[in-house]
Amino acid sequence: MIARTFSMTADGLRRAAAPLRLAHLLALASFVGLTVAAATPVTHTVVMKATSFAPLTLTLKLGDAVVWRNDDFFPHTATAPGIFDSGSIAVGASWKYQPKAVGEYAYICTFHPNMKGILTVE
């Protein structure tokens, strides 16, 4: 009789815990949904104008992308030797790059070496 009472109590506890488990699952699903939304990649823009990069430094998350847009009167490049090289970006054109690794990358315009920028990927 005692065993049967314990069994019924355990069954009752299981039934009582079911809504709690559902609540935990819903909370977890909500959390995961928020995490996915927060991880949406962002595209950043660096403008090439007046023989400079703006902004001079840019920090982005791994998975984000950066677009260099040439608003100047002559071609430019965005070049971090051994990491990325846009080649010549014509006036009014742009070039998009998505970093593959975390790090800090100093880059220049190979046509105008005084143009310098820093891309930091976290």
pLDDT per residue over 8-57, tens digit each? 455 554 555 555 565 554 454 555 554 444 579 999 999 999 999 999 99
- As a whole number of angstroms, the distance between CA 98 and CA 89 comes to 17
Which is it for the CA torsion 87, 89, 93, 97, positive or negative? Answer: positive
Q: What is the pLDDT of residue 23?
A: 55
Q: What is the pLDDT of residue 34?
A: 47
Cβ–Cβ < 8 Å for 107, 97: no
Q: What is the pLDDT of residue 93?
A: 98
Take residue 102 and report the two structure tokens written for it: 């975390």
Residues found in the chain: 122
What letter does residue 66 receive in the DSSP assignment? E
